[in-house]
Structure 1
Amino acid sequence: MDSTARSATRWPTDPDAYPQRHEEKESSPRPSVTELSHHRISHGSEQGTSAATKNEAQWVTGMKLVALTNLLVVAMFLMMLDTSIIATAIPRITDEFRSLQDVGWYVSIYQLANAALQPLWGRIYDKFSNKSSFLTSLAIFEVGSLVCGAAVSSRMLIAGRAVAGIGSAGLISGGLTITASAVPLEKRAPLTAMLMGVAQLGIAIGPLLGGAFTSYTTWRWCFYINLPIGGLLALGLLFLPIPDQYSKPSPWPLLRRLHLELDLLGFALIAPACFQLLLALSWGGSKFAWDSSVIIGLFCGAGATGLFWAAWDWYRGDEALIPFSIIGTGYVIPYAMLAAVLGSISNGLYSTFSPTTPPAKWIGYQILNGIGRGVGMPMAILAVQAALSPADLAMGNSVVIFVQSLGTAITLAISDAIFQGSLQSQLSQQAPHADAAVIIAAGATHFRNIVEEQDLPGVLAAYSVSLNRVFYLAAGVSSLGLITSLGMGWVNVSKKRPVDNDEIPLQNLGA
């Protein structure tokens, strides 16, 4: 059967039939992106306009939209704040727990949990209501914060960070999914940009706030601060309308088939594959040699598990954890290309840094890089939201965030390997009389206290060259965006269209 025929049997032509689509899922699976395109072509303009007009009254508007947007902004800001607030608290934490060897886990376990859980949260938002899913993720995040604040050991703190990371994964994908469900496509760009922009402020403010808590109270308030704010967020969300992309059935029948509905086997395959890959990249060249049995075993395990997951994902089709049908769609080439150009140029300029670079240059270069990040960050999300049907929005958002999170973690691990390897060799060349092992162990802020004055210029040069090599990688990765953006299509997502995502009426606005 060709795709047009499948579209006719799987995608109802009457807009009034959409609310029953999910209940009939056993016989009518969710349409793929290709089938959606056929439906749009075959759908009459008069009928599409009628459906769009019908939907106008069902979007969240007015003060309800303002309140909902503010709550989502605070939630995402809180999530991003939690990623960086621990940075300035780590010295006090290691002093109390005597756990210098665990420092890397305090940050990485949060990122690992956030990245690995993104696809699973996408399935959760697909199957269950946006409100209950978002509140559940917020509750998990709050529990993790409470465990971290009350930690009596380093292991308890690491466990709490993992739980908080699991919850934060649902907050970011949920915030974007709810935004896409609350307003029509042409209004999503500014709201999405605001959500992501304010969330990034959390990363910048985190170290400052963490330093204040550590200096004037206790490092535990870096985590306790999430509890009252999260409680107010939950209270506000309970009384606000949070729309769904389509009508969703009662959750109780789904619980009996939860392992199939969420594709838990697929999650059990992809999560350890990601974990093994990141461990190999993090430990290679530092804790273990690259040719050690541990690193080779981790790479092999990641590859084998990843292949099993890909085979299972292909077998499951549209019911898989990450359906292949939603990968590779998008629309916003000009902005994506501009972001890639600015990122490439700014990272290339970063690679010219030296110990004598004046503040005017490194401040100006960062402004240029910030503009590129601001332009580029929302583009992938907007592209997916423009290309996918409402039924696929949650999964599309989670896939983008998963790729971004995993890509960031992998790039950081590779960057660390480049820096550590380069610094070791450069210290031997630039400061041959200094003890390279002692300098590296002292860290970037304390090596001046142990280095002889005559060796200091060479040590600074070694650090400078090593950092420059990291920025070569960043510039190269940014340049790839010029190529990948070409697959995103030339459609203006800010232009109102009578037949698109507006075809499917939103449900549960009063929930």
Structure 2
Amino acid sequence: MQSPAEKASAIQGKPVDGASTTLSVSTSSDDNRQVQSVDYSLSGAKLHILIFGLGLAVFLMALDMSILVTAIPLITEKFQSTADIGWYMSAYSLSLCALQPLSGKLYANFSLKWTFLILFLIFEIGSAISGAATSSEMLIVGRAIAGAGAAGLMSGTLSIVAVVVALRLRALYTGILSSMFGIALICGPLLGGVFTQHVSWRWVFYINLPLGVVTIGAMVFFFNPPSRSVEGDAIVDRIKRLDLIGVGVFVPAIFMVLLALQWGGIKYAWNSGRIIGLFVGGGVALIGFGFYQSRKGNMAMIPPSILTERTVFLASITAMLGMPASTTLGLWMPEWFQVIKGDSPVQSGVSLLPAMLAQTVSTIIAGGLTTVLGYYNPWLLAGTALMSIGCGLFTTFEVTTSSSMWIGYQVIFGLGTGMFITSPLIAVQSVLSAADTPIGIATVTFFQMFGGSLFAALSQTIFNEQLLKELMKNAPSVNIQALLAAGTIGIHKVASLEQLPGVLQSYNVALMDTFYLAAATSAAGFVFALWLPWISVKSKNLAAGVA
């Protein structure tokens, strides 16, 4: 039998599908297993095609978080299901968020290639069901299935990058891929408006199918790393390491907390028995989950040795606090353009181009500079600072705000978002072993998604409460129920010419007040980022070690 060194000698330098391979051994946090991993690097056209396919996967996953906004009015008209509006959005986001940690364990214990493809196919199946829905219930089920598959796409994409790209170059490629996430969040309403106005609302979901073929093709033909070997490699041992009991406690806990936040003050009063019950149930379940995880040790779904590592912990908290700014812009800025400036859904998407372009440029530049200089810290600090400043500037918007102001402020914000979005993900890769990288990436991704979902719900509450308060002050004679039922586009039809200035002023105040929360969370993220250790990505050359 060959020793690991002999095997490495046999493999090193021999191309596999035109790729460079090197065998190495690393230790996983899961019971100190020895994982024989392969540093499988790609270059040239094959790398670029794979990155393009992965970028599409990230884009589609994030697109489904925002594209539905402009399609909801037509969907509710089709199914006569106004009461289900909240579920159209939350069915996807709840599954996406709650199953993030499990995806990390799947990637750490099973084939990276085939785990990614299976999860992506689940996402595609959910999209097909949603597009073909004949009832509101069928649409909700499709959205939940799509979210379950999407839960592993971001972490899987970055885990693949960790295999095919050296750590010193990872920031650049991670930046390119992560920029797809931010772009999708911002341009989702634009694409949703195009499909609903010119094709059909069903193409909001169907668009994932033809584009998904590109991703599947790139993975099948251009990502073929040699298999790795793991101690205790029997399928039963792998399943045990998934910590399914922990999953069974964690998923309902996250569902209850997020549902309480999404329903509170909107569908049910905050002091209602249903909301209190969800908070109590979710809190108790999370406490139980934490206790169980501490007993499981490194066999836990989120191993304490990974989560309590200083860089991983601080990067996760920073990611959670920074993400609300990006979510808030994508959620509320299109509303501001449509209500205050009278833009159509498509026009409001075009108006967000300054933030989108600035984010794309700064993401790539920050990734390139991280590659050259070796440190992610400057861009993480600058990014959270600029996001906080940008959100603060957004709060100064008035009904009469000029285009030069909203363009300039978006550029400031976009530059910050681009610098921030990849840095926490690079941070965890600089300190974790090859075998633990997928779990670390999934952990940070979970905190990002949870932060976005958590503060999106809180911003919705701020908007609703502030809008009612401002309408009673600025437009007391308007029929508030009719105004709210009319939706964004119907405001000008419900309010009279005399009432309209007060209505617009009320909406402006309520919409911009949501950015106070985003400014505060970004500033808090800056504080946590200050404590991150300065570790050069040039000092290590890790690969994720999963085939």
- TM-score, normalised to structure 2, is 0.79
Task: Return closer, same or farther for 1:249/1:219 CA change in 2, 3 Å cut-off.
Answer: farther
1:321 aligns with 2:301: yes
Alignment partner, residue 112 of structure 2: 130
On the 8 A contact 1:188/1:382 being kept in 2, the answer is yes
Matches within 5 A, 1:24-423: 28-29=32-33, 58-243=40-225, 247-248=229-230, 253-254=234-235, 256-257=236-237, 259-327=239-307, 328-329=310-311, 332-423=376-467
1:33-85 CA-partner distances (Å, limit 9, x unpaired): xxxxxxxxxxxxxxxxxxxxx988x4222332222212211222222233333
1:447 to 491, 516, 524: 491
* DSSP-derived class of the 1:390 partner: coil
Give the residue type in structure 1 aligned to 2:261. Answer: L
Change (3 A) 1:200 1:468: closer
Change (3 A) 1:341 1:204: closer
CA distance in 1, matches of 2:515, 2:458: 12
Give the Cα–Cα distance (whole angstroms) in 1 for the partners of residues 498 and 544 of structure 2.
Answer: 72
Contact 1:80/1:203 (8 A) holds in 2? yes
In 2 relative to 1, CA 55–284 (structure 1 residues): closer, same or farther, beyond 3 Å?
closer
Q: Of residues 487, 506, 512 in structure 2, which corresponds to 1:468?
A: 512
Q: Distance in 2 between matches of 1:143 and 1:372?
A: 35
Structure 2: unaligned runs, 5 residues or longer: 10-22, 313-374
In the TM superposition, residue 435 of structure 1 has moved relative to its aligned partner by: 2.9
Task: Evaluate the alpha carbon distance shift between residue 475 and residue 193 of structure 1 in structure 2; reply closer, same or farther with a 3 A threshold.
Answer: same
* C-alpha separation in 1, matches of 2:443 and 2:528: 16
Conserved? CA contact 1:247–1:506, under 8 Å: no
Aligned to 1:459: 503
Q: Report deviation, 1:21.
A: 6.1
Is the 8 Å Cα contact of residues 419 and 469 (structure 1) preserved in structure 2? yes
Alpha-carbon offset, residue 439 of structure 1: 2.4
Q: CA deviation at 1:226?
A: 2.0
Looking at structure 2, the residues matched to 25 and 357 of structure 1 have their Cα atoms a distance apart, in angstroms, of 54
Once residues 300 and 31 of structure 2 are traced to their aligned partners in structure 1, the CA distance between those partners, rounded to angstroms, is 17
Structure 1, residues 274-313: CA drift from partner, whole Å, max 9, x if none?
A: 1111111111112211111111111111110000000011
Report the CA distance shift for 1:326/1:199 in structure 2 as closer, same or farther (over 3 A): same
**In structure 1, distance between residues paired with 2:242 and 2:86:** 31
User: 1:131, CA displacement in angstroms?
Assistant: 0.5
- The 3-state SS of whatever aligns with 2:267 is coil
**3-state SS in 2 of match to 1:453:** coil
Q: Which moved more, 1:189-198 or 1:468-477?
A: 468-477
Secondary structure, counterpart of 2:222 in structure 1? coil
Q: Please tell me whether the aligned partners of residues 178 and 242 of structure 1 are also in contact (alpha carbons under 8 angstroms).
A: no
1:229, distance to aligned residue in structure 2 (A): 2.6
Q: State the alpha-carbon separation in 2 of the partners of residues 342 and 91 from structure 1.
A: 35
Q: CA deviation at 1:379?
A: 0.4
Alpha-carbon distance in structure 2 between the residues aligned to 1:26 and 1:483 = 32
The CA distance in 1 between the partners of 2:226 and 2:291, in whole Å, is: 31
Q: Report the Cα distance in structure 2 between the residues aligned to 1:205 and 1:458, rounded to whole angstroms.
A: 30
Task: Find the counterpart in structure 1 of residue 327 from structure 2.
Answer: none
1:428 corresponds to which residue? 472
CA–CA separation in structure 1 for the residues paired with 2:164 and 2:122 = 24
Following the alignment from structure 1 to structure 2, what is the Cα–Cα distance between the partners of residues 14 and 478?
Answer: 50
CA distance in 2, matches of 1:77, 1:375: 18
Looking at structure 2, the residues matched to 283 and 398 of structure 1 have their Cα atoms a distance apart, in angstroms, of 27
Letter in 1 for 2:80: R
* Residue identity in the other structure for 2:445: I
Work out whether residues 53 and 216 of structure 2, in 8 Å CA contact, stay in contact via their aligned partners in 1: no
Q: Is the 8 A contact 2:66 2:188 kept in 1?
A: yes
Q: Measured at CA, do residues 245 and 103 of structure 1 come closer, stay the same or move farther in structure 2, by a change above 3 Å?
A: farther
Percent identity, aligned pairs only?
41
Contact kept? 2:63, 2:188, Cα under 8 Å: yes
Looking at structure 1, the residues matched to 34 and 85 of structure 2 have their Cα atoms a distance apart, in angstroms, of 44
- Offset at residue 258 of structure 1 (A): 5.4
Residue 481 of structure 2 corresponds to 437
Change (3 A) 1:16 1:294: same
Unpaired runs of 5+ in structure 1?
A: 1-11, 32-53
SS of corresponding position for 2:42: coil
Shift of 1:414: 0.5
Give the RMSD, CA atoms, in angstroms: 2.9
Aligned residues of 1:259 and 1:265 also touching (Cα < 8 A): no
Distance 1:26 1:154 in 2: 42
Distance 1:152 1:337, change over 3 A: same
Question: CA deviation digits over 1:133-171, x for unaligned, max 9?
Answer: 111111111111111122110110110011111111111
The structure with the larger Rg is 1
Structure 2 residue 526 is the aligned partner of structure 1 residue 482:
yes
Query: CA separation in 2, counterparts of 1:286 and 1:81?
Result: 25
